[in-house]
Amino acid sequence: MEQFIDWITQPWPWWVAGPLIGLTVPVLLIIGNKTFGISSSLRHTCAMCVPANIPFFKYDWKKEIWNMIFVLGILIGGFIATTFLANPDTIVVAEATQQDLAALGITDYSKLLPAEIFSWENLFTAKGLLFFVIGGFLVGFGTRYAGGCTSGHAIMGISSLQWPSVVATIFFMVGGFLMTHVFLGPLMSLVGF
């Protein structure tokens, strides 16, 4: 049992994790003609919890209960992984990336997310407003505007040969590159990083 725990707490190679994620798509399609995606669960939650007379939320959300169970499993699995199965080793970050991040004031790699950004102390600062509130709104708006999130489009949409998902994924990548190489530096200095 100890060997199993040691094995499961280590980072899995891409050639194991990638196919496991990729195989989720055909399994969902074969088992019940279901599509993979996480962002739709927010709509299901709102339809379930908000009894308002909003047309966007008026549908039979009970048919999508499997998606809510899937998301609940992700939350429980994430809690178990971070609480009981966390890898005790420091996260490996490429030297060039460490130098780029150090220039932005990010040097702590002891946790999964940089503590200099993702901490309770930053929540009510200009930095927190930018990253959590405005960034969260933009992610939610973009997800709704694009008709799905990155995982839904890149994993499900492309594998089922949907042209809009190919276009969306290309623009997700372009946006990520632009943010990293053009906008991140000025934004970090704007909020005093």
Looking at residue 178, its pLDDT comes to 92
Residue ranges covered by each domain of the chain: 1-86, 117-193
Looking at residue 150, its pLDDT comes to 83
Looking at residue 192, its pLDDT comes to 66
In order along its 193 residues, the chain shows pLDDT tens digits of: 778 877 777 777 889 888 888 888 888 888 888 877 788 888 888 888 876 788 888 888 888 888 889 889 989 998 988 888 877 777 788 899 888 888 877 888 777 778 777 888 888 887 778 778 888 888 888 888 888 888 788 888 888 888 998 998 999 899 989 988 888 778 777 766 6
Question: Per residue in 44-68, is it b (16+ CB within 10 Å) or e — as a string?
Answer: beebeeeeeeeeebeeebeebeebb
Looking at residue 55, its pLDDT comes to 85
Give the type of residue at 42.
Answer: L
Angstrom distance (rounded) from CA 189 to CA 126: 11
